[in-house]
Structure 1
Amino acid sequence: MKVLVTELMWDDGMKELKRSGCSVDYDMELGRKRKELLALAPAYDALIVRNETKVDAELLDVAKNAKVIGRLGVGLDNIDLGAASSRNIPVITAKHANATSVAEYVMASMLDAYRPLHHADADVRRGNWNRKFFTGNELNGKTLGLVGMGEIAHRVARRANAFGMETIGYDPFVTPFDHILAETGVRSVNTLDELLVASDFVSVHVPLTKETRHMINKKNFPHMKPHAYVINAARGGIIHEGDLIEAVQSGEIAGAYLDVLEAEPIPKDSPLTQIASIRLTPHIAGATNAAQSRTAMLIAEEVMKVLNGGQSLCAVV
């Protein structure tokens, strides 16, 4: 069996594929080389991608030997599920493999917003001792609003509870007996605006779809507290970036933590880079060493199940 890996994959997974008898070709930049990818694809039994490789009908048409698509992550906006389904090609995701890392990123963002220790460190190294300026705030007693209440939001809520935060959530697809409500103590609200009004931090945990694109925009920001922060470690495009810039500059909200953007990598002339209270990271929320290893191993093992004629519990189509 031949496997083509088009983006970054931890060695653990590739070693597992080879141990299982696969021939593996790896080019972590191939997802950006469309013509080369289309030329190579027909020779492979499996494709393993991340979020940059566009797996559409054109690619699947030429990948005539493909029996499975492995996705090193959980987002699916770069994969045409309909096209894969119509060709009977299962798509495997790394179900929950990076959930803990993303949850910890959200906690790190909130702690950084209230206790920016790197700024205090830099100031001390300049010879200052500004204890009053760096007093900061506590997360204890603050309200965290979760937009979407899936597995990652569930893990965020458990950690926020340990800090003494109140957690509320908006998700029309969650029932009263889902774990995040029944066992984690998150209070469900009926509308997005109700969540925004009450929250000191808003953390986004929904996929990018037609319904969620720009769901947080200039109509929503006036409902938020002026000291509130919004955190997006889900998908770029859920928050309208132009409207966010205006909201921060006008003082409608305090700032944002963005790990995902509408254009990745970020353009050098992006106005987002000019606003200090909008913190930017390069799509790394779920990319800790531990999460990368788990993701690579899970995808390798599940892809092999399909190649060997079995079924994967991590298949979405």
Structure 2
Amino acid sequence: MSTLTLDKVKTIKTLNNIAENGLKVFKDGEYAIDNESENPDAIVVRSFNMHEMELNNNLKAIARAGAGVNNIPVDKYTEQGIVVFNTPGANANAVKEMVLTALMASSRNLFAGIEWVKGLQGKGEEVPSLVEAGKKQFVGKEIKGKKLGVIGLGAVGALVANDALELDMDVIGFDPFISVNTAWELSRNVQRAMTMDELFAEADYITVHVPLTDDTKEMFNEKTFNLMKPGVHILNFSRGELANENDMEVALESGKVGKYISDFPNEKVLNMKNAVPVPHLGASTSESEENCAIMATRQIKEYLETGNIKNSVNFPNASIPYTGKSRVTAFHRNIPNMVGQMSSAFSHNQLNIADMINRSRGDYAYTMIDIDNDVNGDVIHSLEEEIKKIEGIITVRVI
């Protein structure tokens, strides 16, 4: 158990190149960007592997400028009361455009055709006639009127589904955990699959937009391939581990799967027949990187200055208007009577509660309490020490 007290000047460390417009969120005089710091208040990261990093007890927050957090040991930091943020939706348009590009280009055999044409270098005046004679081997098919299955209707999946409808595709979607906001944004013309097996059976093309979990790992395998239409195209811009690569190789060789477009190539994928390896370009646009950086840094700034949490992957979202009065925040175990004990500490120190919020997520919870009184440092210190002694408290911070 530790106590974290906010310093006047907050130190921010970046572990990757972060877009300059994102770092501009941190005002000079209030924040210092110090990438050599051993004791930062917060870290902004993209793909840097943090699993072997040793962190100090001053660190309060980590923001991943992107959606996936596989490079961050979230469970470890949760136990220490360190908030881990991500930026869902900030790179959604970039990924959507790449998915639709790959969908059309692979359906028309564009990648293989271009590679073949480049092999005609040195043929001189024969090139035009060779192209005309050889182009028939790359005859593709149009996507208009075909059915696209979208697994995962979050920020990216919903955009893909809506835009595919505009391309005159039929769209069927599956997401048992669809949010209310996404449901409002999703076109009513997207058909709902009641099960993933139903989607597998109906789709000509399948694109997947779900996180890697124990339930989704190797979701594309021999069993699920047997449910699909012969020659189905599968697009994977989420995680390479969603596919059983041994089974995928066999399915591609037999033609059961017509194309496998993967944004996560490795040696095995490179040697698969009819696999289209994309060099992890899904979110690689200057606009996307800037959007993610701005969103990540704003979330850190809001948290450090007010304690409000939005888009955390390990603690509940919690927000109350910040009036400038003293605010006490605490991460703690999600066990009975925690709020009651904290309220008692306020009473013991003759402090009135102006506003309060308590939110839980699994085994952990977060509480913010605003103090109604004008108080001096000694009283705050006494309150802080009393809350620290409560069994189940992980960290306490006074803003």
| TM-score interval, normalised by the smaller of the two chains | 0.7 to 0.9
**2:207 match: secondary structure:** strand
The change in CA–CA distance for 1:20 and 1:133 in structure 2 (over 3 A counts) is farther
> What is the alpha-carbon distance in structure 2 between the residues aligned to residue 198 and residue 258 of structure 1?
21
Shift of 1:142: 0.6
Correspondence for 1:221: 225
Checking the alignment, whether the CA contact within 8 Å between 2:206 and 2:235 is kept in structure 1 is yes
Checking the alignment, whether the CA contact within 8 Å between 1:226 and 1:251 is kept in structure 2 is yes
Shift of 1:59: 4.2
TM-score by length of 1: 0.83
> What is the alpha-carbon distance in structure 2 between the residues aligned to residue 285 and residue 254 of structure 1?
21
Q: In the alignment, which of 43, 50, 64 is matched to residue 54 of structure 1?
A: 50
Correspondence for 2:287: 290
- Give yes or no for the alignment of 1:260 onto 2:260: no
The change in CA–CA distance for 1:13 and 1:19 in structure 2 (over 3 A counts) is farther
How well do the aligned residues superpose, as a CA RMSD in angstroms? 2.6
Checking the alignment, whether the CA contact within 8 Å between 1:154 and 1:184 is kept in structure 2 is no
Correspondence for 1:272: 269
Checking the alignment, whether the CA contact within 8 Å between 1:215 and 1:240 is kept in structure 2 is yes
Correspondence for 1:37: none
Map 1:148-159 onto structure 2 (within 5 A).
Answer: 148-159=152-163
> What is the alpha-carbon distance in structure 1 between the residues aligned to residue 263 and residue 216 of structure 2?
17
Unaligned runs of 5+ in 2: 1-9, 121-126, 316-399
Runs of 4+ in 1 over 6 A off after TM superposition: none
- Give yes or no for the alignment of 1:23 onto 2:32: yes
Q: In the alignment, which of 126, 129, 132 is matched to residue 132 of structure 2?
A: 129
Correspondence for 2:216: 212
The change in CA–CA distance for 1:238 and 1:41 in structure 2 (over 3 A counts) is farther
The change in CA–CA distance for 1:279 and 1:117 in structure 2 (over 3 A counts) is closer
Correspondence for 2:69: 76
Correspondence for 1:5: 14
Checking the alignment, whether the CA contact within 8 Å between 1:158 and 1:184 is kept in structure 2 is no
Map 1:153-168 onto structure 2 (within 5 A).
Answer: 153-168=157-172
**1:219 match: secondary structure:** helix
Correspondence for 2:59: 66
- After superposition, the C-alpha distances for 1:55-108 in whole angstroms (9 at most, x for unaligned) are 5xx746x33111111011111333343333332222221121001111111101
Shift of 1:191: 2.2
Correspondence for 2:353: none
Correspondence for 2:300: 303
Counterpart of 2:293 in structure 1: which amino acid? Answer: A
TM-score by length of 2: 0.67
The alignment-based identity, stated in percent, is 28
**2:132 match: secondary structure:** coil
Checking the alignment, whether the CA contact within 8 Å between 1:180 and 1:186 is kept in structure 2 is no
Checking the alignment, whether the CA contact within 8 Å between 1:233 and 1:259 is kept in structure 2 is yes
Checking the alignment, whether the CA contact within 8 Å between 2:249 and 2:273 is kept in structure 1 is no
Unaligned runs of 5+ in 1: 27-39
Q: Which has the greater radius of gyration? A: 2
Counterpart of 1:288 in structure 2: which amino acid? Answer: T
> What is the alpha-carbon distance in structure 1 between the residues aligned to residue 115 and residue 18 of structure 2?
35
Correspondence for 1:44: 40
> What is the alpha-carbon distance in structure 2 between the residues aligned to residue 298 and residue 177 of structure 1?
18
- Give yes or no for the alignment of 1:110 onto 2:103: yes
Checking the alignment, whether the CA contact within 8 Å between 2:151 and 2:174 is kept in structure 1 is yes
> What is the alpha-carbon distance in structure 2 between the residues aligned to residue 180 and residue 110 of structure 1?
25
> What is the alpha-carbon distance in structure 2 between the residues aligned to residue 143 and residue 175 of structure 1?
23
> What is the alpha-carbon distance in structure 2 between the residues aligned to residue 120 and residue 213 of structure 1?
32
Shift of 1:281: 1.9
Shift of 1:312: 3.6
Shift of 1:173: 2.0
Shift of 1:43: 1.4
Bigger mean CA deviation after superposition, 304-313 or 210-219: 304-313
**2:201 match: secondary structure:** helix
Counterpart of 1:89 in structure 2: which amino acid? Answer: I
